[in-house]
Amino acid sequence: MKHSEPDFEVGIIGGGPAGSSMAAYLAKAGINCVVFEREIMPRPHVGESLVPSSTRVFKELNFLPKMEEAKFPHKFGAAWTAASDAKVYDMDFGGVSADCHVDVRFEERDQPGVAQNYTYHVDRGKFDLMLLQHASGFGAKVYEGVGVTGVDFTDPNHAAVKYSIGKKEMSTTCRVVVDASGRKTLVGNQLKWRIQDPVFDQYAIHTWFDGYDRRVMAKRKETMGDFIFIHFLPITNTWVWQIPITDTVTSIGVVTQKKNFAKSKESREKYFWECIKSRPELYEGLKAQGSQQIRAFKDEGDYSYAMRQLAGDRVVLVGDAGRFVDPIFSTGVSIALNCSRFAHKDIIGALESGDFRREAFNTYESTIRRGTRNWYNFITVYYRLNVLFTAFVQDPRYRLDVLKLLQGDVYDDAEPAVLTRMRSIVTEVEKNPKHSLHGFLGDLTANAFAEAHSD
């Protein structure tokens, strides 16, 4: 019996950065693909500051000129600030003192394949729409306002993506399905692959301000206005992001642990302002004449998780649909884009060979697992022994290796040496209650490396 041809070669669920970059890569290579996006774009979204490894994807997709035309603020670096009464710590492993007020510029380290010394901050409504339109320009079919309800994998010859239009149940067949549904993790939920992160249970509340002078917290006011700022708060495991959206609009978000987060909307907003007040200059800047809140508060909750597998027979998970790691280093969009950079090659290979078993997507799965494991460990160190991060950034022996991680170049090493070094210091400090840094251990990621160092 001759099998009928599927409607599309590849069906992509979700039109965020993961889905639209995947569609762009595939359509550019001449693959017949379709994107199902449940929202009508543009829609607002959290995750507004990129890291430079996203530039490779923009370049490969001929998207850089559009990023420039859109005039998104250029992001030249990142800065971390501490409350003014923060102590200065002496690191006895290298004589380095860290005052928890550090910054990096991306131009300090050349990145292979990246010719510019900045990346971007983006209004996600605008950026996501542009990237989806770019994919459509290469020939990808895009259905907006179509929410996928599930995928039927029972037919051995194709997968069927199910959705309803009005009251009518419909389905579209394809050889491979890409789940790019973000934190909704459609396929991961359906196949019961999702594992909640045992450690991170962060919540965030965020909004936009117009007219806030974002240089008030900068050490070098002339050159750091368009950096991302992470302001540490005196409250454990709590920090604030400050991200430029336009010349005058700034995104401000508080990230904290679930236990600090009240149920009612009013008390969450009160909590936002209490947190901001713990950094008086920031509070005064946001409340100054000429600065006003221009968006309603939005919150995001309990977001860290992994998936048992990132691919299966006829299916690949990309972006947040595959894994979510705490956003402290602004990694999400870049990971989403790089998922497509790696996964589209395996998908094209599978279409050419006709082999759609999970093994066909092995290269993608192992590459992304390596990258996100590095991110995860880096973030774990950060929360466990914050002063170590700032000390390493300031230490010339380690600075460029840390910068490499911050630039998003995490995929090529099984574990970068700098991370191994940081992890072993954390273990040393944990084991020795008399260590000068012992008192600075955070509780959130306690003993997270114990297993790896059980020797």
The footprint of ligand FAD (CB under 6 A) covers 13-19, 36-39, 45-50, 147-148, 180-184, 186, 204, 255, 300, 303, 319-321, 327, 330-334, 336
Q: What angle do CA 73, 143, 179 make, to 5 degrees?
A: 75
- Which C-beta is closer to ligand FAD: that of 120 or that of 212? 120
Cα distance between residue 130 and residue 17, in whole Å: 10
Query: Hey, what are 105's tokens?
Result: 């510029």
d(CA 178, CA 18): 10
- CB of 290: closest distance to ligand FAD in angstroms? 25
Q: Which helix (H) or strand (E) holds 163?
A: strand 159-165
Q: Supply the DSSP symbol for 439.
A: G
SS (H, E, C) 342-365: HHHHHHHHHHHHCCCCHHHHHHHH
* Residue 432 φ/ψ, nearest 5 degrees: -115, 100
Cβ distance 197 to 47 under 8 Å? no
Nearest distance in Å: CB 180, ligand FAD = 5
CB of 166 to ligand FAD, least distance (A): 16
- In degrees, rounded to 5, the angle at the alpha carbon of residue 302 between the alpha carbons of residues 296 and 306 is 130
Minimal distance in Å, beta carbon 335 to ligand FAD? 6
Instruction: Look up residue 455 and give its amino acid.
Output: D
Closer to ligand FAD by Cβ: residue 189 or 363: 189
Residue closer to ligand FAD by CB (options 128, 395) is 128
Question: 67 or 180, CB closer to ligand FAD?
Answer: 180
In the block, tokens 């970068």 appear at 416
Please tell me the distance from the alpha carbon of residue 304 to that of residue 320, in angstroms, as a whole number: 10
Least distance (Å) from ligand FAD to the CB of residue 16? 2
Cβ proximity to ligand FAD, 105 vs 421, nearer residue = 105
Burial of 53 (C-beta count, 10 Å sphere; 0-12/13-18/19+): buried
Tokens read off for 151: 């995928």
Distance (Å, whole) CA 358 – CA 181: 20
State which residue, 11 or 312, has the beta carbon closest to ligand FAD.
Answer: 11
> Structure tokens of 142?
């895009």
Helix (H) or strand (E) holding 251: strand 249-257
CB of 349: closest distance to ligand FAD in angstroms? 22
Q: Residue 203 CB, nearest distance to ligand FAD (Å)?
A: 8
User: Least separation, in Å, of the C-beta of 15 and ligand FAD?
Assistant: 5
Name residue 250's beta-bridge partners: 209, 244
> In whole angstroms, how close is the CB of 257 to ligand FAD at the nearest point?
13
Cα gap 59→79, rounded to integer Å: 26
